[in-house]
Structure 1
Amino acid sequence: MGSAGTPTWLDKLEEQLNVDVDWMDPEYIKGMPIVPHDQTSNQLWVDIQLGDDSNRELLLETAKELKNDGWLAIYTRMAVLMCKKNINSIRGRVLLQTLPSNAFRFQETLDHARLYDKEFARAGIGRDRYCIKIPSTGPALNAAKVLSSEGIPTLGTALFSLPQAIACSQAGMLYISPYYNGKLKIWDTKTPVFEVLAHDEPELWPNVKDPAVEHPIFITVQEAMAAGEMGCHSATISHTVLNELAKLRYVASEQPGPDVPKPAHVYKDAPPVSDRLRKLLSIDPLAGPDWDGKLASTDVDYLADGGASLQNAIEADAVTKKRLADAMALFTGGQERSRAKIEEVLPLV
């Protein structure tokens, strides 16, 4: 924490919203200057922890116990047990994601989420302390609807559009985690650069002073602070950005937006959108030239017929379609690296 009278950007952001840690390292989370609310993850973060020396013996033990059940059983139990190491260092929930390679498969997504639920129960972690991330596709969100009916909490991830958000609501999900308000950057090669790729390739990320009105996705500290001004419930922030936020002393006069504390409940008596951000309500910087200005309607059943209307909306939106594909490819890479690690130890047990 900052010394008396000199809060850090991280202190101030926690006053404005719930700060979640997007990282799985137990020692890092224990050492954070604030107690995070949720601990989120994805296949990349699970893979990093799976390969960490501190989890080597646990991996060998788990592989020995489940070697006849296949790599996914080992992966799922390991992911849950690694989250268990953090459960007493956070206020809220640990989050894990179903396999991105099955993002367009209903039954496989449903089965994997149920396996997570089983493993969390085995680990002594109740449904009020975890949440399962589900890709926001038609088939996967239909699986989420079933999970919701069973009392299994879910979050809609890989979410880039309003139809996806509406579909998540129709599936009864606890959370959504959107990527929003971004702009394409066109370089001299005339090749579009999509924001998902910037996580791996920082040089693709345009640096601006006021990301609240340009491209909020948390790669820089300014983008994280913008979420507070927007009135978000929470912000999922990587350890690298958290480190930077904790180093910076907060000076209100240097911030482009107002300092508004979070309400007791984010959805009750929420303050109005600030004047400088109000214009964002009436524009869509990513809409194609054929957009008629109409927003997606909650009257559409995006989950009907296996999610056909949602899939049609995704296909019709070039940006959403591309970013969804990029995200699933990125996370599937992490999934496959974890599978290789597990298959490598199986002959040893």
Structure 2
Amino acid sequence: MEAKTTLTWLDKLEQQLDVDVDWMDTEYIKTMPDRLGLVPHDQTSNQLWVDIELHKQSNAELLKQAARELNGKSWLHIYTRASVMICKRNIGHIKDRVLLQTSPSQAYNEEKTLEHARLYDEEFKRVGIPRSRYCIKIPSVGPALNAAKTLSEDRDEEEGLPIATLGTAVFGLAQAIACSQANMLYISPYFNEIRAHNDLSLWPDVKDPATEHPMSARCVQMIETFQKLYKQTGRRQPKMKLASLLSAKEAMATAEFGCHSATISAKLLDELATLQYDEDDASSTTAQADKGIMPKPAPGVEFYQGLRQTPARLQKLAKVDPLAAADWDGQLASTEVDYLASGGAALHRAIEKDPIAQDRLAYALEVFSDAEERSRGKIEDVLSSL
């Protein structure tokens, strides 16, 4: 690899937080060091990305192999094994963890979510991927998060580690607090709603996303809440892995919020690698913001212990919510509420009172469930051909 003489936006972002790849294509991931100068930390995915992989001709034999090995088992077991096999192919090209998501169609069924997460655990163990190298994404609704709490208490005899989980499809502070109560390793708030990826008229393409994007306030409030909880309890809090980013400016804003990591699409990673970073450009909001960002906490330091205070220019976001319901009383979600009790009843009520969270969560689960159903059809076609 040729020595770099200039700093790209991607280089700068990696200095400030952990950059992940939100894609499963092996050829893309393994060529990232030479093309982009980056080895990603985590490889994230969801039912959409898995479905794309399962429909590729290049993965036809992999899927047939999983179907032959598990002929007579459920389609979900075949789906799970094939997904893990793709992760096995990718794990040598990343630094940290591969992530797969439990069935979105069963998000409101605690036992089914628990069963699927444990099936992933079995399949990862089968291919030699330890618990320290994977994480299970779980939709942030009450029943599924109760399953995540159970998984956090289930330590492997050999590794002594629980099954690490990530709370996905987070749109509001109550969901974030519930993820803390479920002892999750990560949360992934969606900075933009899923619809905006296909309908840019729904995308708030603002000049300075850190201060102007309507989701920024909620991101700042989640980070500050986790910092407060860590100081009060000394207990590890979920690290924020921001997702659903649509522009290079939004990607750079993640570090200013204080996120631990950002999971970024292949298209956006490519763009970040072409942009030259100029810290002396006074007109650049990215360069201005950089002056208030501390380096990543050192390895081994609890993330929220090493995190700095919210930058001065973002502090006004701590008490506002552009996405709140019209009758919002100005009070943020309370950390004193047990959002997981009674199957997540309090979380369900909080989501119902938050029209944005309710709508975007329902849509996310619908989109992922539709992709899962397409994968099921593909697997059943393969089984019928055996």
TM range (shorter): over 0.9
Cα distance in 2 for partners of 1:211, 1:129 equals: 32
Give the structure 1 partner of residue 7 of structure 2.
Answer: 7
Q: What is aligned with 1:258? A: 290
> 1:203-224 deviations in whole A, cap 9, x for unaligned?
4323221111233641111100
What letter is aligned with 2:117? A
**2:313 pairs with 1:276:** yes
CA distance in 2 between partners of 1:242 and 1:86 (Å): 17
Match status 1:233 vs 2:237: no
After superposition, what is the alpha-carbon deviation per residue over 1:161-184, rounded to whole angstroms, capped at 9, x for unaligned?
11111111111111111135x6xx
1:231 deviates by 1.7
Distance 1:3 1:122 in 2: 40
Residue 202 of structure 1 and its aligned partner are, at CA, apart by 3.2
In structure 1, how many angstroms separate the alpha carbons of the residues matched to 2:31 and 2:86?
17
Q: Distance in 2 between matches of 1:288 and 1:70?
A: 43
Q: Which residue of 2 aligns with 1:186?
A: none
1:188 equivalent in structure 2: none
Task: Report the identity percentage.
Answer: 60
Query: 1:2 Cα deviation (Å)?
Result: 8.9
> Given residue 290 of structure 2, which amino acid in structure 1 is its aligned partner?
P
Aligned match of 2:27: 27
**1:168 corresponds to which residue?**
179
Equivalent position of 1:312 in the other structure: 349
Tell me which residue corresponds to 1:187. none
Q: Does 1:177 align with 2:214?
A: no
Q: Aligned residue pairs: how many?
A: 336
1:117 aligns with 2:121: yes
**Greater shift after overlay, 317-326 or 206-215?**
206-215
Tell whether 2:323 aligns with 1:323. no
Distance 1:235 1:171 in 2: 21
Aligned to 1:185: none
CA contact (8 A) 1:165 1:176 kept: yes
1:193-247 Cα distance to aligned partner (Å, 9 max, x none):
xx22112333432322111123364111110000012221000111111010011
2:273 matches 1:246 = yes
What is the letter of the counterpart of residue 127 of structure 1? R
Write the letter of the residue equivalent to 1:235: A
CA separation in 2, counterparts of 1:224 and 1:240?
A: 12
Return closer, same or farther for 1:164/1:304 CA change in 2, 3 Å cut-off.
same
The reply on whether 1:302 has 2:339 as its aligned counterpart is: yes
Aligned residues of 1:2 and 1:11 also touching (Cα < 8 A): no
Q: How does 1:97-176 map to 2 (within 5 A)?
A: 97-150=101-154, 151-176=162-187
Deviation at 1:3, TM superposition (A): 5.5
Between 229-238 and 249-258, the greater mean CA deviation after superposition: 249-258
2-structure distance, mates of 1:230, 1:270: 10
CA distance in 1, matches of 2:2, 2:265: 20
Distance 2:4 2:371 in 1: 42
Aligned equivalents of 2:352 and 2:2: distance in 1?
47
Query: C-alpha distance in 2, partners of 1:242/1:68?
Result: 41
**TM-fit CA distance, 1:291:** 1.4
SS at match of 1:339: helix
Scaled by the length of structure 1, what TM-score is found? 0.93
Contact residue 325 and residue 353 of structure 2 kept, 8 A: no
SS in structure 1 at match of 2:250: helix
Aligned equivalents of 2:114, 2:306: Cα separation in 1? 36
What CA distance in whole angstroms lies between the structure 2 residues aligned with 1:58 and 1:78? 7
Contact persistence 2:142–2:339 (CA under 8 A): yes
- Distance, in Å, in 2 between the alignment partners of 1:170 and 1:135 is 14
